[in-house]
Amino acid sequence: MFMIMSISMIIMILSMIVMFLANILSKKTFMDREKNSPFECGFDPKNSARLPFSLQFFLIAVIFLIFDVEIALLMPMIMIMKISNIYSWMMVSFFFLLILLIGLYHEWNQGALNWAN
């Protein structure tokens, strides 16, 4: 046990040293205004080219991924219906769909599904 802890500590220290050296030796400078500004034919830009990321779009994407995975979990339930006990299959399916519907209602109630604000 002591050997595993010592090896993990050595690996952690080595990785921290490598990250620190990479940060020191990197050639990137964040203070250079010309490199950080977008290029518009040599003129100063009229407005910022870096628009803020829409948090609403991100939430919709996460909700889509969650419900997409849940649909992928629902698909095998159709095939299992033939080989399992119908009572237990109905109980598991009902419980799973109930959790999905409660989650969908919660998202709807919180306003996460309203695209236009």
What pLDDT does residue 42 have?
Answer: 61
Domain boundaries, the chain: 55-110
Which residue(s) pair with 40 in the sheet?
43
pTM of the predicted model as reported, rounded to 2 decimal places: 0.48
Measured CA to CA, the distance from residue 89 to residue 96 in angstroms comes to 11
What pLDDT does residue 66 have?
Answer: 84
What pLDDT does residue 49 have?
Answer: 61
Q: Which residues of the chain have pLDDT under 50?
A: none
Long-range contacts of 99-107 (CB under 8 A, 24+ apart): 100/67, 100/70, 103/66, 104/67, 107/63
What pLDDT does residue 58 have?
Answer: 80
What pLDDT does residue 100 have?
Answer: 87
What pLDDT does residue 12 have?
Answer: 96
